[in-house]
Chain A
């Protein structure tokens, strides 16, 4: 069973870059079986898809965040990462890493999520 675990700072200052890592266990990011995604959920609100990466490095981002987002993969560590630049309070959310079985599918498996607060 593939499991996902997010890690990274829980507090980020405005205008700085949010950086999170997702560690994959029970499977390999380079297997080609999944697309690896990031999704976020502001407190008390709904879900927003941020983007995904394939093991080859191919990415697709939400147009509303595209100018600030970078998702990368490190096959040697079996991890993939999210960077979101120039953050504001509106970026405060629980960030989830997830996996999808095909290129046009919503996630089929999720990490437990990590809360990131943007505040000075």
Chain B
């Protein structure tokens, strides 16, 4: 069972806007930055969003992140077929000596 909670699946049609939620607690999302990753089948996760809403160079501005309280969300606008992948949220958790925690992942299907 993952510390951060994501919906297991999401879907949309090409061109549509899709959002994926990530729920946590005061010890993780509530007090630390949220990161988002995209994982294509058979590949390593790729950083999409860091520090809640920052995009690394090379990530299209169709991807955006936001955070409010103990929840965060990833929005993908202008959905494309190549966006079909698993998406994970992550944050640092201040419990005990601290550790990185992840959501269970959301499988995005482009219909």
- Listed in ascending order, the chain A residues whose CB lies under 8 Å from chain B are 37, 39, 46-49, 51, 60, 62-63, 96, 100, 104-113
Contact = CB atoms under 8 A, between A and B. Distances in A.
Contacts of B46: 110
Contact of B35 (A37, A39, A105, A112): A105
Interface in B20-44: 32-33, 35, 43-44
A contact patch SS: loop
Contact of A108 (B44, B50, B92, B103): B50
Interface residues of B, number: 26
Nearest to A94: B44
Contacts of A47: 45, 88, 90, 102, 105
A38 to B, nearest CB: 11
A50 to B, nearest CB: 9
Contact of B2 (A46, A62, A108, A111): A46
Contacts of A100: 100
A16 B71 CA distance: 40
Chain B CB within 10 Å, residue with most, of A46, A49, A106: A106
A48 B102 contact: yes
A4 B104 CA distance: 24
B68 to A, nearest CB: 19
B47 interface: yes
